[in-house]
Amino acid sequence: MADDEGGAMQRTSVPEADRIIGVRRPVLTHGFVALVDYMGNDAAIVQAARVSYGKGTKTVRDDRGLIRYLMRHRHTTPFEMVEYKFLIRLPIFVARQFIRHRMASTNEFSARYSIMSDEFEVPPPEEVRHQSTRNRQGRGEPLAADVVERFRSDLDRVSKDAYAAYTRALDAGVARETARLVLPVAYYTQWYWKTNLWNLFHFLSLRLDPHAQEEIRLYAAEMAAIGRLVCPIAFEAFEEFELGAVALGRREQRAVRALLEGKSPDEACATAGLPLTREDGKPMTSGEGVEFLEKLERMRRVE
């Protein structure tokens, strides 16, 4: 880190993070997350926030208070002073979810230049479930055991057949960039994924959420564990004010006011215009009113 008064510069070093550089933390059957490099730490966040005041930090207590203030008030730029570079091996269907986050520099393994490994993902039985009735892109209740095993068997067979076709195409002289087309999204790819801390927080806020697909949540959990080693105070603030927070819309705030005035949850929703029943009188299973009641239940469970 630079000396604000013109002294020698030294690279930030976090011993806990240095010890895991290059360590592959396993995820799923063939995947992993590894920290390749990082830049900055909690002190870099504080130094950036206090740049107009000259020399960086005061005490750890002061630093913690400042970082928590920055997080509460969403002053994002100081968090962007910290960067992470990961090496991630993951199934293609999970990679497609990662790439939706347009805030990382990514360099992926190229199947145009290299031959794909014969590694694919078959989800464990407990993760093969019904389509959710509430979430159009999620999983719901358990399936019958015979349905689960048939799907897993089919996936295994189709993947092996596809790789055999891929190998035959390569042996026959088909270009790698064309032969790869037969491989399903269950196959693995890998990439370098570099991002700053604030964008990592945004990624984690979405991909650690219970509504996110289970597979990407597992990758997010490992990335969070690594990120916390570099910036433990910032991650404490993130968990407190972002992951652990409950956002309330205007009508939801009106419903909370009605609760404080002694109304029941159903009455509060009616007062605030948060519907709980459909036009035919049946209870709603989704919608703003249902989500508000879920938020109330979440707040009741806070320890």
Annotated catalytic residues are 207
Local structure of residue 239 (DSSP, 8 states): I
Written as six digits, the tokens of 89 are 């091996």
CB 83 within 8 A of CB 40: yes
Cα–Cα distance for residue pair 158/197, rounded to 1 Å: 40
Name every residue whose Cβ is closer than 8 Å to that of residue 102 and which is 6 or more positions away in sequence.
none
Please count the other Cβ atoms lying within 10 Å of the Cβ belonging to residue 56.
Answer: 18
| Cα–Cα dist 103/246, whole Å | 24
3-state helix, strand, coil in the chain (%, to 5): 50, 15, 35
Beta strand extents in 9-138 (DSSP E only): 25-27, 31-39, 83-91, 105-108, 129-131
Q: Round to whole Å and give the CA distance between 179 and 162.
A: 10
Q: Count of CB atoms within 10 A of residue 43's CB?
A: 19
